Amino acid sequence: MLEVKDLSISFGGLKAVDQLTFTVTEGSIYGLIGPNGAGKTTVFNMISRFYTPDEGSILFLENELLDYKIHEVISLGLVRTFQNVEIIKNMSVMDNLLIGLHHQMDTNFFTEILGLAKKKEKDFHKRARDILKFLGLEDFENEIAGAQAYGIQKLIELGRTLVTNPKMIILDEPAAGMNHSETKNLGILIKRINKELGITILLVEHDMDLVMSICNQITVINFGKKIAEGTPSEIRNNIEVQKAYLGGE
């Protein structure tokens, strides 16, 4: 589904990502991990087109993402979340989800005359309510998003990605700021999104218990270079990975 080939980018002469290659298969939960400053979020920013790499290729469903602008990527079925919660805090939970559908809200005189715009709006609200129910947030529909607890805000942001009916979601540190219980529930939810909704997931995460419990395959990078790739068991026992995280022997 996603093929990253020889991806490289430098900032001020410093190589942040160096010849990185990995492949995410359809239907999987794939982890990209590494110590702080390894270049993980930079990789995500290149895939979602916030950054343009100096070298390399990014194929999503055989489409070269480098040929697309930032706002066009979502139309291919690729969406992402961010390390920090990115919601419109003074709007309702429902409206925050509907924002995720802005790229489909193309009405004109003829659709208004025929009443198609109203039908589309009704369909959008139904889709958003279905997602709220899936996330257990149906009672929050009309509540102000910014007034909710941090964990709920994270779910609202996730809901905004799900409402677009994506093929793949990129999750950038989804468990950041969560306690142990919330992280455990998040792992269960990510597995449900993968299995019940059929969405492929690529995630960066520092919580190794979460990564090891939900990912099918993992790539480890350090100083922008790939140092290991494999199953959770293979990664856990990899000497190079242990050195990168723990330093030395």
What are the structural domain ranges in the chain? 1-77+166-249, 89-165
Asked if pLDDT for residue 83 goes beyond 90, the answer is no
Mean pLDDT over residues 153-170, rounded?
92
pLDDT digits (tens, 9 = 90+) for 117-145: 566 678 888 999 999 999 999 999 999 99
Q: Would you say the pTM of this structure is higher than 0.95?
A: no
Residue 1: predicted pLDDT: 95
Mean pLDDT over residues 105-113, rounded?
48
Residue 99: predicted pLDDT: 86
Mean pLDDT of the chain: 88
Mean pLDDT over residues 103-129, rounded?
63
Express as a percent the part of the chain with pLDDT over 90: 63
| Beta-bridge mates of residue 222 | 225
Residue 103: predicted pLDDT: 52
Mean pLDDT over residues 158-184, rounded?
91
- The H or E element containing residue 172 is strand 168-172
How many distinct helices (H) and strands (E) make up the chain? 9, 10
Assigned fold of 1-77+166-249: Rossmann fold (3.40.50)
pLDDT confidence of 104, banded at 50, 70, 90?
low
236/35 Cα distance (integer angstroms): 14
- In the DSSP assignment, the letter for residue 195 is H
Residue 85: predicted pLDDT: 74
Asked if pLDDT for residue 13 goes beyond 90, the answer is no
Q: Which residues of 2-41 are buried (b: 16+ CB within 10 A; e: fewer)?
A: bebeebbbeeeeeebbbebebebeeebbbbbbbbeebbbb
Residue 106: predicted pLDDT: 55
Residue 177: predicted pLDDT: 85
Asked if pLDDT for residue 114 goes beyond 50, the answer is no
> Which conformational region is residue 49 in: left (phi greater than 0), alpha (psi within -120 to 50 degrees), or beta?
left
pLDDT digits (tens, 9 = 90+) for 40-80: 999 999 999 999 999 999 999 999 999 998 888 888 999 98
Return the closest-CA partner of residue 167 out of 72, 51, 40, 75: 75
Residue 82: predicted pLDDT: 76
